[in-house]
Amino acid sequence: MKIAIIGGGPAGLYAAILLKKQRPAAEITVYERNRADDTFGFGVVFSDATLDNFEKHDPPSYRRITQEFAYWDDIAVHFRGTVHRVGGNGFCGCSRRKLLLILQERARELGVSLQFEAEIDNEKRFADADLIVLADGINSRFRDKHVEHFQPEVDVRSNYFAWMGSTRPLDAFTFIFQETEWGPFIAHAYQYEAGRSTWIFEADPETFERAGLKGLDERQSADRMAEMFGWFLGGHQLLTNRSMWRNFPMIRSQRWVKDNMVLLGDAKATAHFSIGSGTKLAMEDAIALAEAMQRAPTIAAALRHYERGRREEVEKTQHAADVSLVWFEHVDRFWEFDPVQFAFGVMTRSKAITYDNLNLRAPDFVAEVDKAFAKQVRDNGFDVDVEKPLAPMFQPMRLREMEIRNRAVVSPMCMYSAEEGMPTDFHLVHYGSRAIGGAGLIFTEMTCISRDARITPGCAGLWNDAQEAAWKRIVDFVHANSAAKFALQLGHAGRKGATKLMWDGIDRPLEEGAWDVISASPIPYFPDSQVPREMDRAAIQAVKKAFVVAAERGERCGFDMLELHCAHGYLLASFISPLTNQRTDEYGGSLQNRLRFPLEVFEAMRAAWPSHKPMSVRISATDWAEGGVTGDDAVEIARSFAEAGVDLVDVSTGQTVRDAQPIYGRMFQTPFSDQVRNEARVATMCVGNITTADQVNTILAAGRADLVALGRPHLVDPAFTMKAAAWYGAEEVFCPPQYLPGKEQIFRNSVRDRQDFEDLRIKAKPKTRAELKAEATKPLAAE
């Protein structure tokens, strides 16, 4: 077998090693355009988990790599004169040059032919090769040559970055967030061998320009950065080696395989440097390719297997890198944060690290985060304990005069169980049990303002006296038996009305008994959905009036808060999104025009709703569709509602058009809440695939939302908050007297359960290499 590998970077060399081990008789050649020891850049980093993977696949190169590496355990965040250090991260750094020399040496030992100063411009010269590995890096000539086939998507990011080196020793992975007269600069720095550290500097384009970096040569710009970070460098120089300022290209290729050619490493996909995974991905690609070659009967099958098996892992890493890079691009959002909260945000930015996880390895840091959070709560007038604070989830909050005991919220969820809009005993039990379960705030399902405002025949409403009385009974029960506050969500289904119950076919049009539907424009949801009537001025006035009348009824029921539903493609949302609003009057066109009707409704309700009670608005912060609402629009939408008196923005997404492309995942809508909260400076509630109290605490402590709503988790567990309170020892959680023995038991058991859990986690966690090294070099105790 003959294998040609184009590119002698980590991907190409490691693939050569693993394939040669597997097939000693194969003729494997690596073609590299540079000289053997001629490499740009400084250091690379690997996590302990990545090193474990290398150990499994090629122990000799693993051993040599780990002998050469610098280890560290801590991440240090420098911000506004403070330093926060978090241990237990287990990373190591190595010079890229040494890594390549180790891999070259190992490849040679195994009999791989290495050809340097061999620039390949045409793969046709390998016509006799069984396999051609394209490992030619980020600017891959071969990916671009076959662009129609590989279909790479290149997203060039806005921030500028440059990769430099220094002799400054570092004992932690170091982030420095530096305030300058031109704007924020960020340094990502780590040591990779004795006396050598890597420094990646980053700045947004405006800051970069204002600082006069444009047009400077490598040396001049290094000198400028050395001046800026001189206080930290302490006389150490910044070194350059092709250290040009660039913009990071996020690359995703639709296809990785063409005939017997396969893309590996940066050539196929990149991951932002802020999560330090580029070299890891490149070498793990090589592992995946070798494993596929081991198992599959033919090369074609192996390549198919490689692409199919590896894609999800790569995309997951890319997603984490995306989330992380967005955090760095928008660092100015958090610039006013308390430094410890800021540092917590840095640590938890890409979702892999959470509040509980940090509590295990850096309890003092988390204690400080909790204190800072509690202090903010105390500054807002609550008499909370700041010295031994409760976890953020159990800190109270005030909206106007409504006080919420904790930050867990039951999200609005339609139960499709009303009869002619009348809530039934099902609703009493449903809301009653969730209120007793301990959530600070519960929302009603979308409650419809009129009969023809319903989504389905099972939707609840508030347009007549009987419904008002039925809701009042539920509100009274909640207030009499729990400490939960109760918010009424009012809405109109618009073009998604007259559809089947969720379990009979969500959003599908009713076959019988449908009523006429209205919308901003006459565009049906599905091609076979009812075509809605475009609302004229009379309809606009009538709907506004119905919202106000329902709000007045809500006040008589005793609800504590009112939410206007402007999300998910229902009537008011259909005005906001350009995908569903094609009007040419003052209610269509610009965002301000599209917001006009929802704002008119909001203002009319606000005037009717008691001024001491808060109001929220639910929005879809993105349509997840080309040409639709974006996160930036959501900031504008939130600002407009805030000016109209909204107290809280309930940040959901999507469901506007049926061909949207949402990117699901844990806490997938939280970045939108983060953006709205920290750009528009309004209180937000986030929601969406948040399933654990750990996630709730992570989001709150990082300042990404003020309240956290959980929908589906509450469907199966009304006592979600009570259980979480037991776990975190938040005795203050409300429990009705009838249930006190249960509360006492779960609180007692939780102390032990938590201890067992933490012991298990600590036992199960292998020692980091830094810890092992420290142990091995510790002097023996005197006997």
Ligand X SMILES: Cc1cc2nc3c(=O)[nH]c(=O)nc-3n(C[C@H](O)[C@H](O)[C@H](O)COP(=O)(O)O)c2cc1C
Ligand Y SMILES: Cc1cc2nc3c(=O)[nH]c(=O)nc-3n(C[C@H](O)[C@H](O)[C@H](O)COP(=O)(O)OP(=O)(O)OC[C@H]3O[C@@H](n4cnc5c(N)ncnc54)[C@H](O)[C@@H]3O)c2cc1C
CB of 506 to ligand X, least distance (A): 9
- Tell whether residue 671 is a contact of ligand X (CB under 6 A): no
Could you tell me the two tokens for 8? 């002698």
Residue placing its CB nearer to ligand Y in the complex, 134 or 683: 134
Among 47, 84, 97, 137, binds ligand Y (CB under 6 A): 137
From ligand X, ligand Y, none, which one binds at residue 120 (CB under 5 to 8 Å depending on kind)? ligand Y
Q: Are 77 and 346 in contact (CB under 8 A)?
A: yes
CB of 781 to ligand X, least distance (A): 53
Task: End-to-end CA distance of the chain: give it in Å, rounded.
Answer: 61
Please, is 360 exposed, middle or buried when counting C-beta atoms within 10 Å of its C-beta (0-12, 13-18, 19+)? middle
- Tell whether residue 197 is a contact of ligand Y (CB under 6 A): no
Q: Binding to ligand X (CB under 6 A): which residues in 563-602?
A: 565, 567
- Tell whether residue 201 is a contact of ligand Y (CB under 6 A): no
Name every residue whose Cβ is closer than 8 Å to that of residue 469 and which is 6 or more positions away in sequence: none
- Residue 626 phi/psi, 5-degree rounding, is -50, 130
In whole angstroms, what is the distance from residue 553 CA to residue 561 CA?
A: 13
Among 165, 278, 423, 440, binds ligand Y (CB under 6 A): 278
Residue placing its CB nearer to ligand Y in the complex, 12 or 421: 12
**DSSP letter assigned to residue 125:** G
Q: Binding to ligand X (CB under 6 A): which residues in 501-530?
A: 502
Could you tell me the two tokens for 720? 């979600």
Among 174, 253, 411, 697, binds ligand X (CB under 6 A): 411
Residue placing its CB nearer to ligand X in the complex, 221 or 489: 489
Which range binds ligand X by CB under 6 A, 68-76, 417-425, 518-526, 709-717? Answer: 709-717
Could you tell me the two tokens for 385? 């304990």
Which range binds ligand Y by CB under 6 A, 2-10, 470-478, 551-559, 578-586? Answer: 2-10
Residue placing its CB nearer to ligand X in the complex, 58 or 445: 445
User: What are the start-end ranges of the H helices in 69-126?
Assistant: 96-110
Residue placing its CB nearer to ligand X in the complex, 680 or 710: 710
- Residue 175 phi/psi, 5-degree rounding, is -105, 130
Residue placing its CB nearer to ligand Y in the complex, 135 or 573: 135
Q: Binding to ligand Y (CB under 6 A): which residues in 157-196?
A: 161, 163
Which range binds ligand X by CB under 6 A, 115-123, 336-344, 428-436, 687-695? Answer: 687-695
β-strand partners of 82: 79
Q: Are 707 and 618 in contact (CB under 8 A)?
A: no
- Tell whether residue 273 is a contact of ligand Y (CB under 6 A): yes
Residue placing its CB nearer to ligand Y in the complex, 38 or 419: 38
Residue 423 one-letter amino acid: P
Could you tell me the two tokens for 397? 């909050």
Distances (CA, A) of 309 to 314, 384, 591: 10, 51, 43
Among 3, 16, 17, 45, binds ligand Y (CB under 6 A): 45
Which range binds ligand Y by CB under 6 A, 32-40, 369-377, 534-542, 745-753? Answer: 32-40
Name every residue whose Cβ is closer than 8 Å to that of residue 17 and which is 6 or more positions away in sequence: 58, 61, 103, 106, 107, 110, 112, 286
From ligand X, ligand Y, none, which one binds at residue 342 (CB under 5 to 8 Å depending on kind)? none
- Tell whether residue 687 is a contact of ligand X (CB under 6 A): yes
> Site for ligand X (CB under 6 A): how many residues?
20
* Residues marked as catalytic: 570
- Tell whether residue 476 is a contact of ligand Y (CB under 6 A): no
The residue nearest ligand X at its CB is 711
- Tell whether residue 417 is a contact of ligand X (CB under 6 A): no
- Tell whether residue 718 is a contact of ligand Y (CB under 6 A): no
According to DSSP, the β-strands at 131-134 and 82-86 are unpaired
CB of 212 to ligand X, least distance (A): 47
Q: Are 225 and 246 in contact (CB under 8 A)?
A: no
Q: Are 617 and 539 in contact (CB under 8 A)?
A: no
Among 652, 656, 684, 721, binds ligand X (CB under 6 A): 652
Residue placing its CB nearer to ligand X in the complex, 168 or 496: 496
From ligand X, ligand Y, none, which one binds at residue 694 (CB under 5 to 8 Å depending on kind)? none
In whole angstroms, what is the distance from residue 509 CA to residue 525 CA?
A: 9
Using alpha carbons, select from 92, 101, 345 the residue that is nearest to residue 198. 92
- Tell whether residue 265 is a contact of ligand Y (CB under 6 A): yes
- Tell whether residue 252 is a contact of ligand Y (CB under 6 A): no
User: What are the start-end ranges of the H helices in 609-739?
Assistant: 631-643, 670-680, 693-701, 712-716, 720-728
Residue placing its CB nearer to ligand Y in the complex, 39 or 354: 39
Strands (E) across 210-369 are located at 238-239, 246-253, 257-258, 261-263
CB of 266 to ligand Y, least distance (A): 4
Which range binds ligand X by CB under 6 A, 13-21, 250-258, 283-291, 706-714? Answer: 706-714
From ligand X, ligand Y, none, which one binds at residue 496 (CB under 5 to 8 Å depending on kind)? none
In whole angstroms, what is the distance from residue 393 CA to residue 13 CA?
A: 49
- Tell whether residue 446 is a contact of ligand X (CB under 6 A): yes
Look at residue 697 and give its three-state secondary structure. helix
Distances (CA, A) of 473 to 120, 243, 642, 718: 78, 69, 32, 20
Residue placing its CB nearer to ligand X in the complex, 328 or 559: 559
Among 120, 222, 331, 696, binds ligand Y (CB under 6 A): 120
Among 251, 292, 372, 710, binds ligand X (CB under 6 A): 710
In whole angstroms, what is the distance from residue 608 CA to residue 403 CA?
A: 21
CA 296 from centroid of its chain's CA atoms: 36
- Tell whether residue 688 is a contact of ligand X (CB under 6 A): yes
- Tell whether residue 689 is a contact of ligand X (CB under 6 A): yes
From ligand X, ligand Y, none, which one binds at residue 710 (CB under 5 to 8 Å depending on kind)? ligand X
Using alpha carbons, select from 424, 311, 365 the residue that is nearest to residue 83. 365
Site string for ligand X, 604-633 (x = CB under 6 A): --------------x---------------
From ligand Y, ligand X, none, which one binds at residue 266 (CB under 5 to 8 Å depending on kind)? ligand Y
- Tell whether residue 200 is a contact of ligand Y (CB under 6 A): yes
Distances (CA, A) of 564 to 445, 451, 468, 485, 551: 12, 17, 18, 17, 10
In whole angstroms, what is the distance from residue 440 CA to residue 486 CA?
A: 9
Using alpha carbons, select from 467, 472, 413 the residue that is nearest to residue 439. 413
- Tell whether residue 412 is a contact of ligand X (CB under 6 A): yes
Residue placing its CB nearer to ligand X in the complex, 546 or 617: 617
- Tell whether residue 712 is a contact of ligand X (CB under 6 A): yes
- Residue 300 phi/psi, 5-degree rounding, is -60, -45
Q: Which residues of 187-197 are buried (b: 16+ CB within 10 A; e: fewer)?
A: bbbbbbbeebb
Q: Are 392 and 697 in contact (CB under 8 A)?
A: yes
Using alpha carbons, select from 343, 73, 300, 106 the residue that is nearest to residue 190. 73
CB of 270 to ligand Y, least distance (A): 7
Q: Are 293 and 299 in contact (CB under 8 A)?
A: yes
Which range binds ligand Y by CB under 6 A, 81-89, 132-140, 493-501, 645-653? Answer: 132-140
- Tell whether residue 8 is a contact of ligand Y (CB under 6 A): yes
From ligand Y, ligand X, none, which one binds at residue 412 (CB under 5 to 8 Å depending on kind)? ligand X
- Tell whether residue 33 is a contact of ligand Y (CB under 6 A): yes
The two counts, helices (H) then strands (E), for the chain are 27, 29
User: Which stretches of the chain bind ligand Y, using CB under 6 A?
Assistant: 6-12, 31-34, 44-45, 119-120, 135-138, 141, 161, 163, 200, 265-267, 273, 276-280, 282
User: Which stretches of the chain bind ligand X, using CB under 6 A?
Assistant: 411-414, 445-446, 489, 502, 565, 567, 618, 652, 687-690, 710-713
